[in-house]
Structure 1
């Protein structure tokens, strides 16, 4: 038995669903839930995003057969901006991670992000939501092996200087650049690993967007359209 969440699902044949799951032990897993669309299916209404499930599945290859799914914790009460943000996290996992790869730390970061989103009200400052998303994006980069140093230049290992300006290179880090968009003092403020609403959020968002771009590819994120049509842009994806 594993604990996990539904990332996405879509119809399969007449009565079944393809359900993409996310667990700590095996990361992203694609399963077929046979008969899940039938009126009397025990899974009807259960296979929803943002509900912690007890899961069992079996099979060979990348498409497994779901054999058990029971609610372990209630559906998190996400709505509006928080719901769109949850879909953004799910899409990042789908787009950036490979199938059947352990993801203990990323799973913990995902749970922490969902818990934080569930505690934010619709009237909460946008900065609080931004910080929650940036923390998860950083955890994702570290999971992918592409975390970078906030305290030193990528190519020289020299400490970031507060009065100097810097550019950023994806999968590498910060580089000194006379007309660079980022001030060293702002980079240093982000480098202690403790991000709150007092850090330069515009820098964090811009850097995370650059850092994630190679992993997301050229196709626009579907979840981003929810922000643009409903609440304004929050995620860093294209």
Structure 2
């Protein structure tokens, strides 16, 4: 069967990464709504006269058409679909951070339409709102949940409902454990995080009552993300270095 038969037209997508390929082309990684993360070859996209130069930009939605039966497809057409401006200043790092998480944690051609919708929402919020920490925490949790990396925050390790007034012990790949039961854990499971049930309930719902709840959510999502990405998150490291330089 000809590779032309494996054609996808006008698929909603976000550009995650782009790197030079041979003399004038680009190797793209995009996250699409119906096909998940896809590798695309944009032929001649680096030439000055290419119509793709102003379209292949991150953080804003586009429509992509491609063909091919191999893992690396060929981009046939791309169009900007409008929506919002690109993020500026520190918000740019938030956009880079989100893209890095999606790129590193998703598998190629593994569809997650709800994750795509969550990506679209958080990118719009990053671009339009200066205070978007709550949107980032909600996206991190949606990403971890969609990919099967997040614990169920509605019940504890004994199958009992998580209660707002109780304290729990959180570890990667485990349900919340009532803090009273954490004393008997083996040494290799002692690494974890104590959290109030109220903060777990808020993270699950995506509605945060105060800054303290957001800080607790950050501690949990960071622990779970670092467990999955032991090599580190480059965009986070760059931002931390810049902040240290500014305060030095």
Please give the TM-score of this superposition, normalised by the length of structure 1.
0.85
Max Rg structure:
2
Identify the match of residue 136 of structure 1 among 135, 139, 156: 139
Identify the match of residue 55 of structure 1 among 61, 64, 69: 64
State the secondary structure of the residue aligned to 1:114: helix
Distance 2:160 2:84 in 1: 47
State the shift of 1:91 in Å: 0.3
State the shift of 1:112 in Å: 0.5
Residue 126 of structure 2 is matched in structure 1 by: 117
Residue 242 of structure 2 is matched in structure 1 by: 230
1:18-45 deviation digits (Å, cap 9, x = unpaired): 0111110111111111111111111122
State the secondary structure of the residue aligned to 1:19: strand
State the shift of 1:46 in Å: 1.7
Over the aligned positions, Cα root-mean-square deviation in angstroms equals: 2.1
* C-alpha spacing 1:190/1:56, structure 2 compared with 1 (3 Å): closer
Residue 116 of structure 2 is matched in structure 1 by: 107
State the shift of 1:133 in Å: 0.7
Residue 170 of structure 2 is matched in structure 1 by: 168
Identify the match of residue 148 of structure 1 among 147, 151, 154: 151
Matched, 1:208 2:228: no
Conservation of the 8 A alpha-carbon contact between 2:39 and 2:72:
yes
State the secondary structure of the residue aligned to 1:209: helix
Conservation of the 8 A alpha-carbon contact between 1:190 and 1:199:
no
State the secondary structure of the residue aligned to 1:173: coil
State the shift of 1:191 in Å: 4.3
Identify the match of residue 51 of structure 2 among 22, 42, 45: 42
1:2-26 deviation digits (Å, cap 9, x = unpaired): 0111111011111111011111011
Distance 1:205 1:104 in 2: 25
* C-alpha spacing 1:62/1:187, structure 2 compared with 1 (3 Å): same
Identify the match of residue 11 of structure 2 among 2, 27, 30: 2
Residue 124 of structure 1 is matched in structure 2 by: none
Residue 236 of structure 1 is matched in structure 2 by: none
Distance 1:173 1:136 in 2: 20
State the shift of 1:74 in Å: 5.6
How many residues are treated as equivalent by the alignment? Answer: 224
* C-alpha spacing 1:162/1:19, structure 2 compared with 1 (3 Å): closer
Distance 1:14 1:99 in 2: 25
Conservation of the 8 A alpha-carbon contact between 2:30 and 2:38:
yes
Residue 64 of structure 1 is matched in structure 2 by: 73
